[in-house]
A and B are shown apart, each in its own frame.
Chain A
Amino acid sequence: MAATATNPKGSTPIFRRKWQLPFPLNIYQSSVGRKWVMALTGIGLLGFVIVHMIGNFHIYEGPVQLHEYAETLRGLGGGLFPRTFLLWVLRIGLAGMFVLHIHSAYSLKERSRKASDKADFVGGEKKYGSKRDYVAANYASRTMRWTGPIVLLYLLFHLADLTWGWWLGDDYVLGDPYHNVVASLSSLPVAIIYVVANVALAIHIFHGTWSLFQSLGINNPRYNELRRTLAKLVAGIVLVGNLSFPVLVTAGLVDDDNRKCEVGDVACLEHEAEKH
């Protein structure tokens, strides 16, 4: 820069590091490092979303197969570990990734908000007097700080709905996930919540999948276009796969008719599963 005009007050740092933590932790002190953590936990969470979705496809095979899949998850690790031990390890790891992903996102948003004179309080986006005409930023990238919380709220709803059975009441049968899913999604408002939340999830994943390569510095001009293609592909698969559940239940293609076992007859499900 040729000439620098100076403000008598100078520009003051918005953030000063008071001390350095020991080695791997000091990476998390920096914004760039936090983006690494966000990207790595994002990969883990994306992996969970895809595996969870594929696992849920067992619902299309029938109640017995879905029960069998659920039992397989609880018995992961075979005879090496006590029952459900490995599942709990995975669950705790997943919860840890959620905490890190959310904390890094929130703290970086706060840093960005402080770095702007006028910024949107929730989204942290800088404001100008005139309307901004964004050129490169797309809907997905600009709504990350909205789709994220939507997905979090949905996650809590989803756990309360199908893991804890808060409002299904007597209709919730532990050990018959097929019935629980059908009972829950038969209600139109619930199905709508699932559709909206999964659209938000797909939008979040679309920007996240592209963005994580950039954050981790995985970059090669020759393959950069593929990152966008991959993002579209992954987001598309998650969108179609996850929307299939509420849509097909609402359409009546997945229901409790013609079951081999009565609803709630877990012993029968176990018996049928053993025959496989």
Chain B
Amino acid sequence: MSKELNLTLQVWRQDGPDDSGHFETYKAEKISEDMSFLEMLDIINEDLIENGQVPIEFDHDCREGICGTCSLMINGQAHGHAKATTTCQLHMRKFNDGDTIVVEPFRARAFPVVRDLVVDRSSFDRIIEAGGFISVNTGAASDANLTPVPKEAADTSFDAAACIGCGACVAACPNSAAQLFTSAKLAHLNLIPQGQSQRFERTESMVETMESFFGSCTNHGECHEACPKEISLDFIAFMNRDYVKAKVKNRKLAGQR
């Protein structure tokens, strides 16, 4: 028999983008410690629906920690206090009986609230559109291993590619900077041969798109701690290096046209 928890929740309720929003207190009773945080919210929502009230809106999709849709600032920490965990994988056993939990949406000017805990993260899509892709000839599939990739490059690129784009880095950053997300997306492609031809064009345009939406990094390191995929700060350094390189290289290319 699993333990049961009784909790007090303070949840951000906001009727729509233009509403000013406020905290509302809910009691969560007889919560099984085996539930995930989102399942706990489902229980509260069922109660709310039964009582004819409007349920709390929150983002969720795969519920297995790989899609990056769930968000939530839980007690001032993105995806809660558990390390390397998304909210859907955050289990109630991480909390104590009688706790008061404050639940807020991810906050940044680039992440406007849609409703309650749901925020619009499409500014990330703008960054990806600016260069988070490689251009290849389509047609018949090429042979496997046609492009040799050094083991280290493949590993590091894969570490960067683990980013699920949830926005926890921006939410945790006191500056609302998106350096960790952008640098992961850049390193993912900039480290491997397939990404080389557009490397500096990509770096310049993704960094500049990022800067038009987000704040500026001050190297606190909060993003890495909040990241459910533990993306390393090393990628931010890599991006900073590549950006200035890109400025120099792109200028040289411009001179040759």
If A9-B17, A16-B212 touch, does A115 touch B108 (CB 8 Å cutoff)?
yes
Q: Digit string of A112-128 for contact with B (CB within 8 Å is 1, else 0)?
A: 11111111000011101
**Judging by beta carbons under 8 Å apart, are B120 and A11 in contact?**
yes
Q: Quick one: which of B110-151 are within 8 Å of A by CB? A: 110-114, 118-125
**Chain A residues within 8 Å of B175, by CB:** 112, 115-116, 124-126
A258 sits at the interface (CB 8 A): no
Residue B76 CB within 8 A of the other chain: yes
Q: Among the listed B76, B213, B222, which residue makes an inter-chain contact with A11, where contact means beta carbons less than 8 Å apart?
A: B213
| A-side contacts of B111, CB under 8 Å | 11
Stretch at the interface among B25-33, B36-44, B189-197, B238-246: B238-246
Q: Which residue of A10, A126, A137 contacts B120 across the interface (Cβ within 8 Å)?
A: A10
Q: In the assembled complex, which residues on chain B have CB atoms less than 8 Å from the CB atom of A27?
A: 244, 247
A7 & B112 in contact (Cβ 8 Å cutoff): yes
Q: Are A224 and B234 in contact (CB under 8 A)?
A: yes
Which one of B68, B113, B217 has the greatest number of beta carbons of chain A within 10 Å? Answer: B217
- How far is the CB of B13 from the nearest CB of chain A, in Å? 12
Asked if A117 and B73 sit within 8 Å, CB to CB, the answer is no
Interface residues on A, range: 35 or more
CB proximity of B174 to chain A, nearest CB, Å? 4
CB distance from A211 to the nearest CB of B (A): 4
A: which residues have CB within 8 A of B? 1-11, 13-17, 23, 26-27, 30-36, 108-109, 111-119, 124-126, 128-137, 141-142, 144, 207, 210-211, 213-219, 221, 224
Given A13-B212, A114-B109, A133-B81, also A2-B240 (CB < 8 A): no
B234 touches A116 (CB 8 A): no
Chain A interface mostly helix, strand, loop or mixed?
loop
Asked if B216 is at the interface of the complex by the 8 Å CB criterion, the answer is yes
* Complex CA–CA separation, A173 to B208 (angstroms): 54
The CA-CA distance from A141 to B242 in the complex, in Å, is 24
Of chain A, the residue at the smallest CB distance from B207 is: A32
Q: Within the assembled complex, what's the spacing in Å between the Cα atoms of A31 and B166?
A: 23
* Interface pair A14/B109, CB less than 8 Å apart: yes
| Contact between A217 and B237, CB atoms less than 8 A apart | yes
**B244–A32 touching, CB < 8 Å:** yes
* Docked complex Cα distance between A178 and B81 (Å): 55
Are B237 and A213 closer than 8 Å at their CB atoms?
Answer: yes
Q: A214: which of B102, B123, B233 is its contact (CB, 8 Å)?
A: B233
Assembly CA distance A32 to B110 (angstroms):
18
